[in-house]
Structure 1
Amino acid sequence: MAALDLFGRRWSLRIVWELQRGALGFRALQHHCDNMSSSVLRQRLTELIEARLVTQEPDAAYALTQLGQGAYRALRPLVRWSDDWAGALADGDPATEEQTPT
């Protein structure tokens, strides 16, 4: 349940997602995350560092740890499902519509 609490906080998953391509400095990460507020980004980074998913490198850039990379890999099936879901919604697939009990 701790992972759900951590990832349920706004922006936590987005930060992990953005760092999967490589380390980013604070401003670059903020830009990649739709310019979220500095205070929220600092708070989320602190939480992710304490959870050992993110590390701050000597040059001050933030990067995923091995645990953080594992969290990203765990998210990939959700991303595939999300793509399928978005496609079904765009196509108007009736299988995705709520069925009314008879």
Structure 2
Amino acid sequence: MDPASLAAVVEVFERRRWLLKLVGDSLRRSVSSSGVVVSIGAESGFYNLTGTSLVAAAYSRHERPFGVVTLIGPKRMEYGAAISTVRSAAEALTQHLDSRF
């Protein structure tokens, strides 16, 4: 990831409101599509993240959305691996939450 893209990602994390919007939007989109969502560049709604991509999948507790697993990386990432990883993590969290609580 180039330094400008990394600086933009760090800025999103420093600005809590932006991070909550980014994660909240990812959660809503994942729940509505019932799967993994991918935002490339400015599709995330943050134009300073044009050099990055976001891959996200919601996890649930007793069929109710509980959170979202999100991966932020460069636009030239291995999308197949990223999608598989995020999907697997969300499924594992769902199974864990359903079995424990």
TM-score computed with the length of structure 1 as normaliser = 0.31
Larger radius of gyration: 1
Larger fraction in strand: 2
